[in-house]
Amino acid sequence: MIEEKGYALQIEGLNVWIRGKHIIKNVGLKVPKRRILAVMGPSGSGKSTLLRAINRLIDLIPESKVEGKVLVYGTDVYSEDPYRVRRLMGMVFQTPNPFPNMSIYENVAIGPKLNRLVRSKDELNELVRWALEKAMLWDEVKGRLDDLPHRLSGGQQQRLCLARALALKPKLLLLDEPTGNVDPVNAVKIEEALRSLLRDLEITIVLVTHTPHQAVRISDYIAFIYMGELVEFGLTDTIALNPRHELTVKFLRGEV
């Protein structure tokens, strides 16, 4: 399928089953380039499963089945080699997961080295610094790049994971509740970093959150998912100020 002009992510008729349970039910949406989509909904609504369907991590779950179309910058992810597909995307999980036996520097450098994105040590050094700067972490770690990540705070470790993802120069960045396990100060830094990425890079961001305030605060588009169904999708301001569905109203009020 040919990419429609301006869209970074196109999902059509997406259904996901895991061990016979219908988790994602006929979801469809389109996100323009260089925008942030917040996927919001209560716990257990299928938000994380949606992310894993986009980057095909769902393939790793036993007894999973996917139907429908997912296009990332024109690439039909279910018609391509999954490893090639995943190189288009970066992923940051809810719990920080830096490589524990690698230094701060190596955590960021390992992806570009393995994927041969740099031709020299100087290029690698520049890329590591760039990624740490984009994650708003460079000033805090520039004198301790050889330290192991356990010496960082939890919030700093999460920003290190963001830098690790950015070092691969992904076109689509997926984040699964990235501020769910960090303190408020680091949460603000992560949100600021995400907004600044759109100003500087050809990147599109999909952020899963169960917090409606965060969805409204950070995103350009919102998808509200409830029990695996896409209840509402559209511009953030429109959904925040004039939601069409009663379930959306209740979720924004914290009632579901």
Ordered domains of the chain (ranges, CATH): 1-88+212-256 (3.40.50.300)
Q: Would you state the pLDDT for residue 153? A: 95
72's CB contacts (< 8 A; 6+ apart) are 8, 9, 54, 85, 88, 89, 171, 172
Which tens digits make up the pLDDT trace of 104-114?
999 999 999 99
Eight-class DSSP state of 150: G
Q: Would you state the pLDDT for residue 156? A: 96
pLDDT-flagged residues of the chain (< 50): 1-4
237's CB contacts (< 8 A; 6+ apart) are none
Q: How many CA atoms lie within 13 A of 179 on its CB side?
A: 20
Beta bridge partners, 176, equal 208
Q: Would you state the pLDDT for residue 248? A: 96
Q: Would you state the pLDDT for residue 6? A: 73
Q: Would you state the pLDDT for residue 256? A: 83
- Would you say 111 and 164 are in contact if contact means Cβ atoms under 8 Å apart? yes
What three-state secondary structure class fits 37?
Answer: strand
Q: Would you state the pLDDT for residue 90? A: 95
Q: Would you state the pLDDT for residue 5? A: 57
